A and B are shown apart, each in its own frame.
Chain A
Amino acid sequence: MEVPILKQGDFLIATIQAALTDEDLLHLRTALVQHVVRSRSRGVIVDVTSLDVMDSFASRTLRDLAHMIRLRGAETVIVGIQPEVAFAMVQLGLRLEDVATALDLEEGLAYLNQKFKSSA
């Protein structure tokens, strides 16, 4: 299933709507990393609210995605991780090191706005 990537001002928003296969995740990663420079975005939000399982591959891909996007000059926020998913993740040792996280889309946008306001 293709994940739509929406442009909203300076940011890109990718909302994952259903469980993704590993291939879809890699596809999303490639698409976002390409898109971020082409659209001159400064921030990327990946919304995982509808995921009720996050395996090690998904979490590693998201982490790599965030690191790659940082190298491409933008900031990534993962939003909407469910409480049960969050706890399952840390028990499995999947910690999304050095990746910003926020409660939901609204918080994610607020985080990015804050970040760019202070650096501007």
Chain B
Amino acid sequence: MAVGFVQERERVIRQQQEAIRELSTPVLQVRERLLILPIIGVIDPQRARQLTEQLLRGIRTNRAKVVVIDITGVAAMDATVANHLVQTVEASRLLGATVIVTGLSPEIAQTIVNIGVDLGKMNTVGDLQGGIEQAERLLGYKVVPLAAVS
């Protein structure tokens, strides 16, 4: 009886964890061929792996050329996850997409420098707005106020 209760509770927790994971990593298309991936909260290795899978699949299905990964909402990450982020950037390049990482906190910047990543390959911009602007430039878009056109 007690065992059944515990098992049931475990199952519910697992299900909820699954649901949180599903919700936690949206890959969104902002423009034709431009995806953004906002990451909020703590990233553990499992979530990092899931993020990568979803992103790479998203690049394929949306035929994305540029991806903006926004990590403003991530306060810190350990070396394993930082390394994983760098690998994700590399893997996206192999699929022909350019990745722009935005919103790196000072702590994460320090982690990345400490693990000794070649920053030449990482495309980073201070905030999400700047990242999207740069992505638009790469895709050949130019956004101007309507008043300037007419």
Question: Chain B: which residue is nearest A87 at the CB level?
Answer: B91
Given contacts A86-B91, A89-B94, contact A103 B63 (CB under 8 A): yes
In the complex, what distance in Å separates the CA atom of A26 from the CA atom of B56?
29
| B97–A83 touching, CB < 8 Å | no
User: How many B residues touch A, CB cutoff 8 Å?
Assistant: 18
Question: Chain B: which residue is nearest A78 at the CB level?
Answer: B94
Residues in A neighbouring B87, C-beta threshold 8 A = 87, 90-91
A60 located at the interface, meaning its Cβ lies under 8 Å from any Cβ of chain B in the complex: no
Query: Which B33-62 residues have a C-beta within 8 angstroms of A?
Result: 52-53, 56-57, 59-60
Question: Chain B: which residue is nearest A84 at the CB level?
Answer: B56
Interface of A (DSSP majority class): helix
Give the bracket for the number of chain A residues in contact with chain B: 10 to 19
Given contacts A89-B91, A95-B90, contact A83 B60 (CB under 8 A): yes
In the complex, what distance in Å separates the CA atom of A107 from the CA atom of B92?
14
In the complex, what distance in Å separates the CA atom of A81 from the CA atom of B95?
6
| A101–B95 touching, CB < 8 Å | yes
| Binary B-proximity of A84-100 (CB < 8 A = 1, otherwise 0) | 10110111000110000
| A87–B60 touching, CB < 8 Å | no
| B97–A86 touching, CB < 8 Å | no
B126 located at the interface, meaning its Cβ lies under 8 Å from any Cβ of chain A in the complex: no
Residues in A neighbouring B65, C-beta threshold 8 A = 107
| B63–A101 touching, CB < 8 Å | no
B130 located at the interface, meaning its Cβ lies under 8 Å from any Cβ of chain A in the complex: no
Residue from A101, A107, A108, A111 in contact with B94 in the complex, judged by beta carbons closer than 8 Å: A101
Residue from A83, A95, A108 in contact with B59 in the complex, judged by beta carbons closer than 8 Å: A83
Question: Chain A: which residue is nearest B54 at the CB level?
Answer: A83
**How far is the CB of A88 from the nearest CB of chain B, in Å?**
9
**How far is the CB of B56 from the nearest CB of chain A, in Å?**
4
Given contacts A87-B52, A87-B56, contact A79 B96 (CB under 8 A): yes
Residues in B neighbouring A79, C-beta threshold 8 A = 96
Instruction: Return 11 A-B CB contacts under 8 Å, by A number.
Output: A83-B57, A83-B60, A83-B91, A84-B56, A86-B56, A87-B56, A89-B94, A90-B87, A95-B90, A101-B96, A103-B63
Known: A86-B95, A91-B87, A103-B95. 4 other contacts (CB 8 A): A81-B95, A87-B56, A87-B88, A90-B91
Report A's interface with B, CB cutoff 8 A: 78-79, 81, 83-84, 86-87, 89-91, 95-96, 101-103, 107-108, 111
Which 5 A-B pairs have CB atoms at the shortest separation, nearest pair first?
Answer: A83-B56, A102-B96, A86-B94, A86-B91, A90-B90
